[in-house]
Amino acid sequence: MFWKRKAKETTLDMERIPQHIGVIMDGNGRWAKQRGLPRQMGHKRGADILEGICDYCNALGVKVLTVYAFSTENWSRPQKEIDALMDLLYDYLLQVEEKFRGRDMKLKISGDISPLSDKIKQAIAHAEEVTAPGKRMILNIALNYGGRDEIVRAARKIAKESKDGTLQPEDLTESAFSGYLDTAGLPEVDLIIRPSGEQRLSNFMLWQAAYAEFWYSDVCWPDFKNEDMERAILDFQNRNRRFGGVKE
Residues at the interface with ligand FPP (CB under 6 A):
25-30, 43, 46-47, 50, 67, 69, 74, 85, 88-89, 92, 141, 196
In the bound complex, what is the minimum distance in angstroms from residue 241's beta carbon to ligand FPP?
A: 28
* Alpha-carbon gap, residue 220 to 232, rounded angstroms: 14
Closest CA to 23 of 207, 235, 240, 220: 220
**DSSP secondary structure, 41-95, as one string:** HHHHHHHHHHHHHHHHHHHHT-SEEEEEEEETTGGGS-HHHHHHHHHHHHHHHHH
CA angle in degrees (0–180, nearest 5) for 64-198-61: 20
Residue of minimal Cβ distance to ligand FPP: 29
In the bound complex, what is the minimum distance in angstroms from residue 89's beta carbon to ligand FPP?
A: 5
* Alpha-carbon gap, residue 215 to 200, rounded angstroms: 11
Residue nearer to ligand FPP on the CB measure, 25 or 138: 25
Q: Which residues are identified as catalytic?
A: 26, 74
Residue nearer to ligand FPP on the CB measure, 92 or 180: 92
* Alpha-carbon gap, residue 55 to 155, rounded angstroms: 35
- Please report, for residues 22, 83, 199, 210, 223, the alpha-carbon distance to residue 68 in angstroms, rounded to integers and kept in the order given: 8, 17, 15, 17, 16
In the bound complex, what is the minimum distance in angstroms from residue 238's beta carbon to ligand FPP?
A: 28
Residue nearer to ligand FPP on the CB measure, 18 or 42: 42
Residue nearer to ligand FPP on the CB measure, 50 or 191: 50
Residues 6+ apart with CB under 8 A from 247: 240
Burial of 19 (C-beta count, 10 Å sphere; 0-12/13-18/19+): middle
In the bound complex, what is the minimum distance in angstroms from residue 206's beta carbon to ligand FPP?
A: 17
In the bound complex, what is the minimum distance in angstroms from residue 184's beta carbon to ligand FPP?
A: 21
Residue nearer to ligand FPP on the CB measure, 29 or 237: 29
Answer whether 87's CB lies under 8 Å from 116's CB: no
